[in-house]
């Protein structure tokens, strides 16, 4: 019979929280730029030569506005990927702290921290459940932050449409859609931008409640292990 594993030590949160919030703001800013380009494409209208993808493997030369969209789209993908990596790093930190504060194993085993985002059907509730469990384990007497539900609701709107953070259309196909029917794209842009805003508030709220419920001696020890960080 395996001996029970020791709960992890409390981990500093100030740096990882600020970084996660900053990358969420960065991703939201990138998606705002993408929305602006969608509007510019719609306002310009499709050229007489037709969409960039002419079909049967033929593509016409892009104009300057379309080239600009390709650049903005690529930068948005990079910002979103960076945000995802940093967000998961924050999630691991608060998950370890929740276990240390409660002395109990998390409701969701560690593979769900990753798999919960990509397994169909399960990804409709498990990521929110992971964070809700972290919050409840950290502060059983505290209500879940409203930002958690706003963040998750907007995330689902952005992803279930097939054109949010997980959409797989090429930039040229999105350009064509912006020319012909931009409204669905703008609705998804708004949902993703809202997700970033609500996510920023949610990250700060979960981290704040953990710092509040740390024993004073443990809080001082965490600060000592992380020079330059202070508890807000």
**Mind listing the pLDDT tens digit for each residue in 207-220?**
999 998 877 645 54
- Give the residue extent of every domain in the chain: 14-52+62-225
Q: What's the pLDDT band for 227 if we cut at 50, 70, 90?
A: very low
167 within 8 A of 194, measured Cβ to Cβ: no
Mean pLDDT of 39-52: 92
Task: Give dist(CA 127, CA 31) in Å, integer.
Answer: 22
Mean pLDDT of 110-128: 91
- On the question of pLDDT at 230 being above 50, the answer is no
Element containing residue 164 per DSSP (H, E): none
Is the per-residue pLDDT at 86 higher than 60?
Answer: yes
Q: Report in angstroms the alpha-carbon separations of 206 from 8, 16, 157.
A: 18, 12, 23
- Residue 6: predicted pLDDT: 59
Q: How far is CA 52 from CA 45, 49, 163, 175, in A?
A: 13, 8, 19, 8
Residue whose tokens read 């509040």: 212
Reduced DSSP (H G I as helix, E B as strand, rest coil) percent helix, strand, coil of the chain, to 5? 70, 0, 30
* Residue 173 burial (CB count, 10 A): 14
% of the chain surpassing 70 pLDDT: 86
What was the pLDDT predicted at 60? 85
Among 56-60, 185-189, 213-217, 225-229, whose mean pLDDT is lowest?
A: 225-229
Ramachandran area for residue 113 (φ above 0: left; ψ -120 to 50: alpha; else beta): alpha
d(CA 3, CA 157): 44
Lowest-confidence pick of 27-31, 123-127, 190-194, 217-221: 217-221
- pLDDT-derived band of residue 165, with 50, 70 and 90 as boundaries? very low
pLDDT tier, 70 (very low <50, low <70, confident <90, very high otherwise): very high
Predicted local confidence at residue 45, as pLDDT: 93
């Amino acid at each position: 019979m395996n001996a029970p594993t020791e709960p992890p030590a409390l981990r500093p949160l100030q740096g990882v929280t600020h970084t996660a919030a900053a990358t969420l703001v960065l991703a939201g800013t990138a998606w705002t730029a993408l929305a602006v380009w969608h509007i510019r494409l719609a306002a310009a209208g499709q050229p007489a030569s037709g969409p960039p993808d002419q079909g049967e493997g033929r593509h016409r030369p892009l104009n300057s506005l379309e080239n600009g969209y390709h650049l903005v789209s690529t930068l948005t993908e990079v910002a979103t990927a960076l945000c995802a990596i940093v967000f998961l790093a924050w999630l691991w930190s608060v998950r370890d702290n929740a276990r240390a504060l409660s002395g109990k194993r998390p409701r969701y085993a560690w593979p769900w921290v990753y798999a919960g985002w990509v397994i169909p059907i399960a990804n409709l509730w498990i990521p929110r459940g992971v964070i809700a469990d972290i919050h409840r384990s950290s502060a059983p007497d505290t209500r879940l932050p409203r930002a958690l539900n706003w963040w998750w609701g907007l995330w689902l709107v952005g992803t279930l449409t097939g054109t949010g953070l997980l959409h797989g259309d090429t930039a040229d196909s999105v350009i064509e859609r912006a020319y012909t029917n931009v409204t669905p794209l703008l609705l998804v842009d708004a949902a993703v931008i809202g997700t970033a805003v609500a996510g920023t508030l949610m990250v700060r709220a979960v981290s704040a409640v953990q710092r509040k419920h740390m024993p004073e001696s443990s809080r001082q020890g965490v600060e000592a292990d992380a020079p330059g960080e202070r508890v807000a």
